[in-house]
Structure 1
Amino acid sequence: MSSNTLETQPNLMKSEEGAITAEYAIATLGGVAFAGLLVLVMRSDAVKDILFGLIARALGLQ
């Protein structure tokens, strides 16, 4: 039975150094871009009116 671990295959570990960091960076940039898009949408007057109407109805202000 052969062992297939990183200790027996040191080149496998070296070939993927930094790959996880790059994946985290790409995911973080995607999250920031999505958050920026949400901020732009939430600033629009139409969305503000819809949200205010929903909150007002939920609180019984209308």
Structure 2
Amino acid sequence: MALHDQWRKSSYSGGGEGNACVEIANRDTHIAIRDSKAPTRATLTIPTAAFAPFINALKTAGDHSG
């Protein structure tokens, strides 16, 4: 695991005023996800192969939420 991750704003963050800003960092075997407004708080890590299915599941859940 890298000590100094290269964080970048996720393309899945959405637009607007940046209220839904999510950052991601590619690691050797995982994708790390954090809230850009609270970067020192908890980080979610997902195996690289599971990242796309995870995002698709979030999109599907969002389609049914409202």
Tell me whether the two structures share a fold, i.e. TM-score over 0.5. no
- TM-score when scaled to structure 2? 0.29
- The structure showing larger relative contact order (alpha-carbon pairs under 8 Å, at least 6 residues apart) is 2
Which one has the bigger helix percentage? 1
- TM-score when scaled to structure 1? 0.31
Bigger-Rg structure (1/2): 1
